[in-house]
Structure 1
Amino acid sequence: MSRRAGSADLPLHGGRVPAWLGQRMTKLGTVITQAIILHYGRDEFLRRLAHPFWFQSFGAVMGMDWHSSGITTSVLGALKRGLTPLSAELGLHVCGGRGRHSRATPDELLAVGNRTGLDGSALARTSRMIAKVDSAAVQDGFDLYLHGFIVADDGRWVVVQQGMNDGTRLARRYHWLSEDLKSFVEAPHAAIDGRNQGRIVNLTDRRAAASRIGQLDLLRDLGPDGIVREAAALTPAPPAPATAQPELPHLVMPDRHEVRPGDVILRRLHGALAAAAEADPRDFAELLMVPGVGARTVHSLAMVAELVHGAPCRFDDPARFSLAHGGKDRQPFPVPVLVYDRTIQVMKSAVEAASLGNDEKLDAIRRLDAQARQLEQTAGGPSLDAFIAGERRRSHDYGGRSVFGHEPPPAERTSRTERTGG
């Protein structure tokens, strides 16, 4: 059966991704995808998308709100914009999205089939079936509003879809992976993100096989009216003992904007900072042939490198990845646009060289990740609050920007605070 990766809570947040950030998310998401495929292949990239902790970390490193449901929409949107022009080269096709884009998924899959020779009709049926299972067979109070279907030229795919519960102001994200999938109606999910809502109707549970068969038998033998009569005559019976199922990892994304010390495994942050300090920025920039690379950019690169090379256990604190490029709502700090752009430049330079057979630059990124992991065992560093305060002090120098505008110089920022009494 397919693998389940875990669960998480995703608070519902409004707002839109500003164009200046959306464009950068597209570029960074694309180059990270290319790096993963170059190192590990398409199948591994699909597995990463099916891992809810990695997916959340992926969105956080792009400067989205680290904890919110908006990461799902923005990541899928960035991948669709960035990978569509490269679909022939990478053999990946991103279909669907939110709202009307979600409803267009079957037609997009038919078009992919026409271009690649895949059975587009079968893919479209798969898309409809998955949406039906998560909206009808899993009745957990979440109404689907987003459906993303990423398919490779060899027919393997991953589906990420999300539902919302207006009453609780929570979202639940569902991950599907074609690898090892043997049934659409028995334990098919790679993962489900969302807070435990108590008892739910989940007809995809392995323990519900008898119920699925019984429902079909009743419908065939009694018809709808007969089922109603039989239901009225029933009396409650004690539930049969359930067979144990392994607990899934559960990620709780809080309904608050600020990143707190409990959200981050500090030794991992210190490892990335130590690796950035020990890597001579001048040598690093010379190797990568990207001007202006300093220790701050190398720190962001270390976190991007971890997304490319890290094992699943490395992503149980996705808030840490927001410390690479901040967040659009100024949490944990404004997006350092200059650092962000250099990170994209470095990664793009490394990927372009690797695609031409020169792996030296991309290997330098991999070694940076390895060094950060080694140093985190012994490295010390600032507290999380001190690190965030330092980023905010230097935000103007880094080209800090948020949905509230460009970050002013420190003196002007202090003057504003004094005038408003903040």
Structure 2
Amino acid sequence: MSKSKKIKIIITIVCISFIQGLQFCVSPVLGQIQEHYPDASVSMVQMLVTAPTFLSIVVAIISGGLVVKISKKKMLIFAGLMAGITGFLPFLADSFMLLFVSRILYGLALGLCIALNTAVVAEFFEGDERVSVMGIQAASVGAGMVLVSTLGGALGKYGFQNAYYLNVIGFIAMILIALFLPETGTAKVSKDEKIELNGEVYKVAFIGVVEMLFLITFTTNIAMHISGSLAGSTTVSGNLTGVFSGAQIVMGLILGAITKVTKKYTLPVAMLCFSIGGVLLLLFPSNYVMLMIGAVFCGFSQGMFIPTAMVEVSNAVNPASTTMAAACMTCGNCFGQLISPTLLNGASRMMFGEVTTSHVYLIATVGMTIAAGVVILLRARKKTA
């Protein structure tokens, strides 16, 4: 494959990742949305970030089978179109329910992009190059989040509705995907190479449920967690989410070197990065510098975990099953995000008698640390078996 073709494919991967980044376009303005719609519960407001994952789970599963009937390129062009359309729906009326429904419908685009982005990488790249490009993919997701989060926070100063304009990224990505992604047709399935998954895929997908259950608390709680002189600042919350995303970029670019050191323990190491960040968020809610450092570690966690997990599941199956494996991993990630606000807020209420961001971060930090320890033990046992 020529260098120019590789560059065009990588540009396409970046575009797909930017569509994924739109999941967090309202994250910096959640505090304003809560004030504007006082009748909406805290969990419902937080679910504006996680609600898209509900539909993403269904779409990801369907896309795993659709690749034999519809090309990846056509599905990704459709994803860009849907991201743009659903992003502008809330302008039709000042209604929380309309905003909530539009976020759910954005899940169509999110599910396709998460599942197919990995499939595109696996189709055109192999071996160490696949790991490196998957790192670039993670970095571009981070770049998309940086752009969306920082601009969302800046625009939010003039009204949270201005953050909706960022969804024009969907239309731009659609055009670039149409121009640069090669059309390879539908996936070919033979008697010897059927679309099927195995136990390794399901194990990694379950770890993904746990990772995202706790990790998503950063973006769903940070705008309402900052206190003291920082409280209520959409710029600060936007910057923190931007730093979180920026850390993903850095981690994505050095992922190849990191995995050579951490090897099969990369996933639990990623989980422990969140644990470190969670402690800092918990202890220093009004200290801008410490919050920034905490955001960096949380970003490292996502930037290390998701591409590594996607590489692991894609390597565990035959080429025809890559999209389905990525879809399964996507379902795990999305399910963890989807249940996070309800489950962790419920746990906070049950354990402490009230729901606060500090309690949620405490539960998430302890839970992630325990989970990482279990994964390390299981992988160490597997190594010596």
Indicate whether the TM-score tops 0.5: no
Give the TM-score normalised by structure 1: 0.27
- Pick the structure with more strand per residue: 1
More helix by share: 2
Instruction: Return the structure number with greater relative CO, CA threshold 8 A, min gap 6.
Output: 2
- TM-score with structure 2 setting the length: 0.29
